[in-house]
Amino acid sequence: MILDVLPERTGGAAENMAADFLLLQRYPRGGAARYRHYVWRSPAFTFGYSQKISYVRGQLPPGEAFDLCRRPTGGGLVDHRDDWTYALVIPRGHPLEEVRAAQSYRAIHDALAGAFNAAGVPVSLKSVSEPVAGAEPAGPAGVCFERAEMFDVVHSGSGAKIAGGAQKRNKRGLLFQGSIWKPAAGADALDWGRLGEEFVRRLAAALGAEASDAPWPDLNEGEVEGLTERYASPEWMEFR
């Protein structure tokens, strides 16, 4: 198998969410896994597919301008104002796509934790049965980075949550949307480019794949624009 490593792109919240979903649904090389790291055009938050908009609005910082979008994946409210964001698609039929959600979540975060440890940042995966020593009291459920869940990446010293993610499975495969909270990881002391390269190397090993740089796929522009408009619409944002 090949792991296609796609070029970095910048987009708004709805645009980024549409791109991730279309990498699952419409990727021309359906048998290849695909990975991308991307950035945000403006301050942004995203929230899980099943979350209620009334709850989400109650958690947002008042009096600030930002982009907001419901994700196609689950999970909680994510603050993207100072994060490092990526998406991974594993095609249908791959062993890691067929396992339970907790197992795929753990495998992806194992690769990320290995990259952090190689970079000199001591991290581990959160275990429900073994709380991390020194961790802060749990924050509200449904708000990412205020509360670590099972197999999230946490700092081994402070217990702070560093990375979380959300998943969606359908007949095309598995979409994993991941976020790293840069302040908790010691952003100023890290070479993020090298960290990303090491993460990709370890992801490829976990997938039994060969990582290879690939161009951005030739997606149908009308479909991209249509899905972006849908994700930006009040109907999508407020359907729960």
Query: For position 65, which CATH number holds?
Result: 3.30.930.10
**Domain around 81:** 2-98+164-237
Q: How confident is the model at residue 147 (pLDDT cuts 50, 70, 90)?
A: confident
Summarised one tens digit per residue, pLDDT across range 152-185 is 999 998 899 999 999 999 999 999 999 999 999 9
Strand 173-181 with 83-91, pairing: antiparallel
- Stretch 3-15: mean pLDDT: 97
pLDDT at 72 over 50: yes
Q: Is residue 129 part of a domain?
A: no
Q: Is residue 127 part of a domain?
A: no
Supply the pLDDT for residue 129: 42
Q: Is residue 171 part of a domain?
A: yes
Q: Is residue 217 part of a domain?
A: yes
- Stretch 207-225: mean pLDDT: 96
Q: How confident is the model at residue 137 (pLDDT cuts 50, 70, 90)?
A: very low
Q: Is residue 112 part of a domain?
A: no
Q: Is residue 108 part of a domain?
A: no
Tokens linked to 203: 């992801």
- Stretch 70-90: mean pLDDT: 97
Average pLDDT score over the chain: 92
Q: Is residue 15 part of a domain?
A: yes
> With pLDDT > 70 as the criterion, what percentage of the chain qualifies?
94
Residue of 142 and 223 predicted with greater confidence: 223
Q: How many domains does the chain have?
A: 1
183 alpha carbon, distance to own chain's centre = 17
Supply the pLDDT for residue 145: 74
End-to-end CA distance of the chain: 38
pLDDT at 98 over 60: yes
User: How much is the pTM?
Assistant: 0.92
Bridge partner residues of 67 (DSSP): 44
Q: How far apart are CA 88 and CA 106, in angstroms?
A: 14
Q: How confident is the model at residue 140 (pLDDT cuts 50, 70, 90)?
A: low
**What DSSP string describes the chain?**
-EEEEPPPEEE-HHHHHHHHHHHHHS-SSTTSEEEEEEEESS-EEEE-TTS-HHHHHHHSPTT---EEEE-SS-S-BEE-TTEEEEEEEEETT-HHHHS-HHHHHHHHHHHHHHHHHHTT--EEE--SSSPPTTPPPP--TTBTTSS--TT-EEETTT--EEEEEEEEEETTEEEEEEEEEHHHHTGGG--HHHHHHHHHHHHHHHHT-EEEE-PPP---HHHHHHHHHHHHSHHHHT--
Q: Is residue 105 part of a domain?
A: no
- Stretch 11-39: mean pLDDT: 96
- Stretch 77-91: mean pLDDT: 97
Summarised one tens digit per residue, pLDDT across range 26-61 is 999 889 999 999 999 999 999 999 999 999 999 999
Q: How confident is the model at residue 239 (pLDDT cuts 50, 70, 90)?
A: confident
Supply the pLDDT for residue 141: 56
- Stretch 204-225: mean pLDDT: 96
Cα 113–Cα 13–Cα 206 angle in degrees, nearest 5: 25
